[in-house]
Amino acid sequence: MILTSWPFAAFVAAVLAAYFLAGRRGQIAILLAASCGFYATWSWHAPLVLLAMTAANHAIARRLWERPSRGWIPFGVGLNVGALILLKYVAPTGDDATGLIGVLLPIGFSYRVLENVAFLVDASRRQLDGFPRLLDYALFSSYFPKLLSGPIERGRAFLAQLPRGRVVDDAALARAFTLIAVGLFRKLVLADGIRGLMPGSLFVSPGESPGLQIALWLLADVFVIYNDFAGYTSIVRGVSALFGFELSRNFDAPLLARNFSELWTRWHMSLSFWLRDYVYMPLSRALLRRDWRPDGVLNLVLPPAAAMFVSALWHGIAWNLLAWGALWGLFLILARLPSLFGPVVPPDRWSRRRQLLGTASVWCMLAGSTVLFRSDLPTAGRVFAAMLAPGVVTWPLVQALVLMGISLAIDVVQQRAREETVFLGWPAWARSGALAAVLVSVFLATRFEVPAPFVYQNF
Amino acid sequence: MEAATNAPTRATLSPRRPVGGTLVAAVAIAAALAAAGEGLARTAFARKHLPTPSVGCGQPQLDAKLALLDEIARRDGPVEGLFFGSSMVHRGIDPTVVGEVVRSETGRELRSFNFGLNGLSGRGEAPLAGIVVGRFRPRWIVLGVSPFALDDDRGVPLTERLLASPWIRQHQGARSLDGWLVDHSEAFRAWLGLRFWFLDPTTRADRLRQRGLMEGLRPDGYGYSAPAPLPDVDEKTIEYFSGYEVSPAQLASLSGTLALRSDLPIVVVEIPVHERVVGRFGRGDAAYRLGLDAIERTAAAAGVPFWRYPADRPVPADGWANYTHMNASGARHYSRWLGERLGAWSAGRDSR
């Protein structure tokens, strides 16, 4: 069931009706059943695999909570990572028997694995507000708005919402529908619109769009990925808000970042913060325990490199993705380099010109690295080579630049107010006009078209 | 041990004020914009200044011919007859010449339109003809066919686009909002036209090719093409045509189109090809004649006359744009013959 489809809207409406009519225990059970049903629309066995992993992780986490033991963490992490490697990477390439096992891979499993690992670690550190019941943990694990592509939630943050009174009042409803409307606009109008304008040969025969053209198309691809994923996240956060649950933000105007360090805290934030908390910081602390200086070269290089290596592996085991991760690691390291030589001035205190140059440099890094994200190494080489040839700006590229401008304008408005749903504070006529524009543009964008699948559903 | 304080509480839905005001206002604004757009799209100003409205099949030649027929119907009333078929009809039948001949032979005015489309095959012809006949209510149609146009590999891209289009599917019973909008909303068709020329993701090369299909398009639908020297028939051409075969599926589709005879009179006519390639068709000269025989049998089974092009009136040597398409000179020659036959046929019908 696609998130941008009428069947999904009908499904949410039906679940909402049952949810608010039910009692306390009934609400959890209804959400859990609905989540399993939603998952089953992608593959019938997916809920079974998910529930089996949920039960296993809950049991291991309970063991860690009650009697912390060093051996159980590696076992638990190994179980999750091993299941992911087996189902996603080993089984599909094997013979008929192993291929059959690979069919068991539920969509979004990579996200579940990160959530499970985080939960196990938090349980071992007793960083939970009490150990959850299996039913509550199963809901966290299977909660349908975040099933497909996250956000990667922390058990402690989600489960802490269960005992709280969740009142869905008019303000919450307005906020929820605003998030959904913004998400639909980003995905269906901006992401699909720009993607539709991109030459199909960009990552196949890059020589057909040489020079400046290809560089701008690569930047356009960054906007596609951003609006696609940010649109998805906005929709699922809005849907979740209808049930009274707050899901984490994934993006905070990342294309307005002024250096790569700042980008990392604004792009796919739930993954970045997971990497920070479970790879970067533990490695950094381990280095400090060995008396390495916090501002030393090793501490500068190893933690970001390790974090980006894990990120690359999470996206997929392929040489181009490893190269992409290495490049991002290098960018992070370079961004932190100035700290070796003294106190660093935060970007907010930079001159306007320096901030703009910083943003432009981030765009160049993103556009360059997106080649590795999208294509294999030989093709990436051809794309980079094509950039050296002369080229012209075409009409579809101009249209893509207009859509990219609209995307940036939304980001600027949201960032200035430091609020995604800033539009709710506009005068009534402006709110209604903006929503009318969204409705008309989404309607026209989806005529005669089948919306493209969300990019991050592939991971 | 699970903490009792972690027991979930119940979520409640309790809006303090009515919700949805912004949404209602937005829907009202959107509806007002749609109504204004619909009104504007129906004005002469919009028709003059906006790109040709589209039915969403990605074939601007089809859109252009529909728009021309709409204009004719608005200005002078519906046309009397339609010439239907592939690019061989588009370039081979000149309605103006046909009309001149009919007028000189019978004294009657004949208003007709050339609805030949580049790349139209039998499978696409049947549903499209039904829609066009239903919309423009001609009094007769002439189907121009040739064994060269009944090969399964001809016109695949347009056929697939037509059969997949919501507009065609709407008329085949697979109703959809998109199909309904194409049929009933001029603003929506205008939007589709704008989208094709300005927003469509097709490559520049494809868009240029589409423009090329409409070169020389006249108000009566005829596709003018100037004379050009023909190259010698080379090995590549021989091999290209030798693979042709009249397909049973295409003949069945032709039957489907001929089923329209229950609504209006239909005539099937042979569109000639250059004599040099007649013998190259399929497995030789006999294959071409056998193809014509198959067409004649199909027409006879539907109770529709089939007019073969007479061998004693060959299209002049300078009357060809290429080996399967006439140019303006050849179309004039052929259309005179067609005009004579149509004049006699319509006189015979009128006298009954």
pLDDT band for B300, please (50, 70, 90 cuts): very high
Calculate how close chain B gets to A130, using CA atoms only, in Å: 5
Cα–Cα dist A271/A307, whole Å: 10
Q: What is the pLDDT of residue A452?
A: 59
Strand, coil or helix: B312: coil
Q: Is the pLDDT of residue A457 over 70?
A: no
User: Under an 8 A CB cutoff, do A167 and B14 touch?
Assistant: yes
Q: Is the pLDDT of residue A132 over 80?
A: yes
Write out A177-209 in H/E/C secondary structure: HHHHHHHHHHHHHHHHHHHHHCCCCCCCCHHHC
B331 near A CB under 8 A: no
Tell me the residues of chain B between 28 and 87 that have a Cβ less than 8 Å away from chain A.
29-30, 33-34, 56
CB A184 within 8 A of CB A2: no
Tell me the residues of chain A between 65 and 84 that have a Cβ less than 8 Å away from chain B.
66
Cα–Cα–Cα angle for A214, A218, A222, rounded to 5 degrees: 165
Q: Quick one: which of B145, B138, B85 has its CA closest to B111?
A: B138
Calculate how close chain A gets to B92, using CA atoms only, in Å: 34
Calculate how close chain B gets to A289, using CA atoms only, in Å: 33
Cα–Cα dist A16/A30, whole Å: 9
CA separation, residue B128 to residues A139, B170, B269, B305 (Å) = 53, 12, 19, 21
Residues above pLDDT 90, as percent of chain B? 43
DSSP H/E element including A406: helix A395-417
User: Under an 8 A CB cutoff, do A196 and B201 touch?
Assistant: yes
Chain B: residue whose CA lies nearest to A133? B2
Q: Which residues pair with B145 in a beta bridge?
A: B270
Q: How far apart are the first and last CA of chain B?
A: 100
Q: pLDDT for A244-261, tens place per residue?
A: 999 999 999 999 999 998
Q: Is the pLDDT of residue A395 over 80?
A: no
Q: What is the pLDDT of residue A456?
A: 67
Q: Which residues pair with B320 in a beta bridge?
A: B326
Average pLDDT over residues B93-108: 93
pLDDT band for B341, please (50, 70, 90 cuts): very high
Q: What is the pLDDT of residue A223?
A: 96
Q: Is the pLDDT of residue A295 over 80?
A: no
Phi, psi of B274 (to 5 degrees): -60, 140
* More confident position, A47 or B153: A47
pLDDT band for A293, please (50, 70, 90 cuts): low
Q: Quick one: which of B21, B16, B29 has its CA closest to A424?
A: B21
The pLDDT mean for chain B works out to: 85
User: Under an 8 A CB cutoff, do A132 and B17 touch?
Assistant: no
Asked which of A155-169, A299-313, A374-388 is least confident by mean pLDDT, the reply is: A374-388
Calculate how close chain B gets to A184, using CA atoms only, in Å: 15
Q: In this structure, are strands B306-307 and B266-270 parallel, antiparallel, or unpaired?
A: parallel
Average pLDDT over residues B198-225: 72
* More confident position, B189 or B285: B189
The single residue listed with the structure tokens 């590229």 is A397
**DSSP letters for B324-350:** TEE-HHHHHHHHHHHHHHHHHHHHHHH
In a 10 Å sphere around its CB, with 0-12 CB exposed, 13-18 middle and 19+ buried, how is residue B8 labelled? buried
**Structure tokens, A419:** 């609020």
Tell me the residues of chain A between 159 and 218 that have a Cβ less than 8 Å away from chain B.
159, 162-170, 173-174, 177, 196-200
Instruction: Please report residues of A whose CB lies closer than 8 A to that of B55.
Output: none
Residue from the list B9, B30, B201 with its beta carbon closest to the beta carbon of A165: B9
The single residue listed with the structure tokens 């579940």 is A112
Q: pLDDT for A8-35, tens place per residue?
A: 999 999 999 999 998 877 899 999 999 9
The pLDDT mean for chain A works out to: 87
Instruction: Please report residues of B whose CB lies closer than 8 A to that of A447.
Output: 178, 181, 188, 191-192
User: Under an 8 A CB cutoff, do B11 and A28 touch?
Assistant: no
Average pLDDT over residues B145-173: 82
Average pLDDT over residues A170-193: 94
pLDDT band for A106, please (50, 70, 90 cuts): confident
**DSSP letters for B61-78:** HHHHHHHHHHHHHHHH--
Q: pLDDT for B220-270, tens place per residue?
A: 999 888 777 777 767 777 677 777 778 888 888 899 899 988 889 999 999
Calculate how close chain B gets to A1, using CA atoms only, in Å: 20
Cα–Cα dist A239/A187, whole Å: 15
**Structure tokens, A408:** 């940036």
Q: pLDDT for A352-393, tens place per residue?
A: 999 999 999 999 999 988 888 888 888 888 888 777 777 677
Q: How far apart are the first and last CA of chain A?
A: 17
Chain A: residue whose CA lies nearest to B58? A448
Q: Is the pLDDT of residue B65 over 90?
A: yes
Q: What letter would DSSP give residue B217?
A: B
Cα–Cα dist B104/B92, whole Å: 21
Instruction: Please report residues of B whose CB lies closer than 8 A to that of A29.
Output: none
Average pLDDT over residues B325-348: 91
Q: Is the pLDDT of residue A102 over 60?
A: no
Q: pLDDT for B3-42, tens place per residue?
A: 444 567 777 887 777 778 899 999 999 999 999 999 999 9
Q: Is the pLDDT of residue B2 over 50?
A: no
Calculate how close chain A gets to B194, using CA atoms only, in Å: 12
**Structure tokens, A447:** 């005529």
**Structure tokens, B138:** 């001609």
B191 near A CB under 8 A: yes
Chain B: residue whose CA lies nearest to A136? B8
Cα–Cα dist A429/A432, whole Å: 5
Strand, coil or helix: B320: strand
Cα–Cα dist B93/B72, whole Å: 18
Residue from the list B9, B15, B188 with its beta carbon closest to the beta carbon of A173: B15
Cβ of B338: how many Cβ atoms within 10 Å? 28
**Structure tokens, A381:** 């080489």
Q: What letter would DSSP give residue B270?
A: E
What pTM was computed for the model? 0.85
User: Under an 8 A CB cutoff, do A435 and B6 touch?
Assistant: no
Highest mean pLDDT, choosing among A37-41, B30-34, B155-159, B215-219: B30-34
DSSP H/E element including B242: helix B235-242
Q: What is the pLDDT of residue B161?
A: 80
Q: Is the pLDDT of residue B303 over 90?
A: yes
**Structure tokens, A95:** 């013979």
**Structure tokens, A336:** 């932190």
The ipTM value here is 0.80
Tell me the residues of chain B between 249 and 288 that have a Cβ less than 8 Å away from chain A.
none
Cα–Cα dist B27/B252, whole Å: 48
Q: What is the pLDDT of residue A341?
A: 77
Tell me the residues of chain A between 108 and 137 that have a Cβ less than 8 Å away from chain B.
129-133, 136
DSSP H/E element including B266: strand B266-270
pLDDT band for A230, please (50, 70, 90 cuts): very high
